[in-house]
């Protein structure tokens, strides 16, 4: 008889998770209704039925609420890197093949909650300070990809090029897919098709 050794969420952890989710859902609803710039932390706390101090136990400011899924994306990328074949990636074609799989893993993570992604996309595209943070976040992911390729034997110039081309494919998908997470996943795949088709033409 097998024993389930998976960790069991404690009552305290469950309450914390639910509180965090309530803050995020409340904040996103208020942002969409009234605008990110207008909504205050106090209003988010009031509508979420928590104290201001409780809000700051979970988030440093309201920007952090918008980017509340960063840990999920980093976890998805880390898992995809861990599961990628441990083979030398010494040429651009192999580097791009791996890069494609990693980017699609990130896009698939976004598609797990399309409603959340739709609001996130609208907020980012309408507020320069959020767009700036989003841009820095995607550059960070490109840097992680570059390091992954270097660790697998990709020459530096090839690793940088592959990472930047992958970033371009994502930016293409972001613009064409808009607030539809499923469309972003599809457009990212299509962008790589175009890129690789041009490379072999």
User: What confidence score (pLDDT) does residue 90 get?
Assistant: 87
Identify the three-state secondary structure at position 155. coil
pLDDT at 201 over 70: no
Structural class in CATH, domain 11-65? mainly alpha
- Domain chopping of the chain, boundaries: 11-65, 70-200
User: What confidence score (pLDDT) does residue 89 get?
Assistant: 83
The pLDDT of 8-14, averaged and rounded, is 80
User: What confidence score (pLDDT) does residue 7 get?
Assistant: 58
pLDDT at 9 over 90: no
Enter the DSSP assignment of 7.
P
The pLDDT of 170-191, averaged and rounded, is 97
Residue 190, C-beta contacts closer than 8 angstroms, at least 6 positions apart: 173
pLDDT at 14 over 50: yes
Task: Return mean pLDDT, the chain.
Answer: 91
pLDDT at 3 over 60: no
More reliable by pLDDT, 197 or 82? 82
Could you report the per-residue pLDDT of 44-81, keeping only the tens digit for each?
999 999 999 999 999 999 999 999 999 899 999 999 99
pLDDT at 1 over 50: no
Q: What is the CA 5 to chain-centroid distance, rounded?
A: 29
Identify the three-state secondary structure at position 23. helix
Could you report the per-residue pLDDT of 111-161, keeping only the tens digit for each?
999 999 999 999 999 999 999 999 999 999 999 999 999 999 999 999 999
Q: Give the torsion through C-alpha atoms of 173, 178, 181, 182, to 10 deg.
A: -70
């Amino acid at each position: 008889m097998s024993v389930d050794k998976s960790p069991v969420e404690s009552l305290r952890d469950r309450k914390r998770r639910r509180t965090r989710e309530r803050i995020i859902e409340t904040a996103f609803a208020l942002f969409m209704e009234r605008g990110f710039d207008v909504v205050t932390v106090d209003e988010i706390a009031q509508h979420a039925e928590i104290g201001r101090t409780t809000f700051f136990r979970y988030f440093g400011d309201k920007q952090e609420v918008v980017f509340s899924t960063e840990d999920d994306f980093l976890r998805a990328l880390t898992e995809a890197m861990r599961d990628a074949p441990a083979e030398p990636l010494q040429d651009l074609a192999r580097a791009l093949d791996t890069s494609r799989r990693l980017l699609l893993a990130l896009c698939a993570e976004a598609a797990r909650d399309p409603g959340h992604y739709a609001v996130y996309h609208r907020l980012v595209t309408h507020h320069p300070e959020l767009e700036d943070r989003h841009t820095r976040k995607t550059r960070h992911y490109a840097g992680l990809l570059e390091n992954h390729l270097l660790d697998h034997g990709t020459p530096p110039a090839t690793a940088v090029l592959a990472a930047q081309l992958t970033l371009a494919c994502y930016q293409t998908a972001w613009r064409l897919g808009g607030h539809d997470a499923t469309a972003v996943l599809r457009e990212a795949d299509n962008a790589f098709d175009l890129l690789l088709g041009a490379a072999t033409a």
